[in-house]
Amino acid sequence: MKIMHVDASAKRERSNSRALSRYFLERLCEERVDLEVDYLDVTVDTPPHVTEAFAIATYTPTGERTAAMNATLAASDALCKRLLAADALVFAMPMYNWSMPSAFKAYIDSVTRTGLTYVNSEDGHTVGQLVRQKVLFITSRGADLRAGSPYESMDALTPALKAAFGFLGVAEPTFVDAQPLQFANPEARAEALERARTELVEVAANWAKQVHATADALTADTNNEVMTLCQE
Ligand SMILES: Cc1cc2nc3c(=O)[nH]c(=O)nc-3n(C[C@H](O)[C@H](O)[C@H](O)COP(=O)(O)O)c2cc1C
């Protein structure tokens, strides 16, 4: 399985979201999923902010773009290609000021591309192209924003991610939100991390089950073909 793994925390060794995304990939390996990982750290390779040149080039039909426009879009084209090539997407990030880190927003601005990650249908609708990918968002939050908490209504991260990737065709993303990790006592933080790890074990088992079932079905198909050939 080809996984696009994206980290977005400004922290490195101390980062909880980075640790949790690594933990998830380790669980997939334990589940004997054959992984090919395409890794992107958007705090190191940060996609550029939208510029005027980008805004014009991206909405110019492919055949009408100048060489300069193509050059402006080249890095974004490459990011879209990587996204579309993946079978599964793992995005890990902290909550910053109730939403996503700006480096991850820059990534979304780079991969939301007409004609690539979504297309315009003849009846005037847009059709997202990320329909076959499994998608997991791992988020880390300092406060507890779960239902019933006084911060519940402040969660602008979950709806923003759902909207951006829903537009690209991701219908049912999985969320594992570790919270509270900062504005709480040590016991509550430890519990939050343990809860997140337990959820990640479940998601890994679920993904592995699907991957192995698909592999079994392919093997059965191939065996059937071989048997048919032998009978002919
Ligand atoms: C600049 C900044 C802004 C933050 N804003 C919020 C916030 O709005 N809500 C919240 O719950 N936590 C907030 N936090 C706390 C982080 O989300 C929390 O510490 C998280 O665990 C960090 O993840 P990381 O360890 O992967 O970097 C903020 C932290 C930083 C550094």
Sequence ranges of the domains in the chain: 2-231
Give the pLDDT score at 187: 98
Q: What is the mean predicted confidence (pLDDT) over 182-203?
A: 98
Q: What's this model's pTM, rounded to 2 decimal places?
A: 0.95
Question: Residue 219's pLDDT band (boundaries 50, 70, 90)?
Answer: confident
Give the pLDDT score at 225: 74
Give the pLDDT score at 231: 67
Rounded to whole angstroms, how far apart are CA atoms 64 and 212?
45
Residue set of the binding site: 9, 15-17
Alpha helix (H) ranges present in 87-173? 102-111, 157-167
Rounded to whole angstroms, how far apart are CA atoms 141 and 96?
8
Q: Using one digit for the tens of pLDDT, what is the confidence trace for 112-138?
A: 999 999 999 999 999 999 999 999 999
Write the residue with the smallest CA distance to atom 2 of ligand 1: 96
Average pLDDT of the chain? 96
Give the pLDDT score at 177: 98
* CATH 1.10.600.10 holds for 2-231: no
Which of 96, 145, 146, 181 maximizes ligand 1 atoms within 8 Å of its Cβ, making it the mutation to test the pocket? 96
Q: Using one digit for the tens of pLDDT, what is the confidence trace for 84-106?
A: 999 999 999 999 999 999 999 99
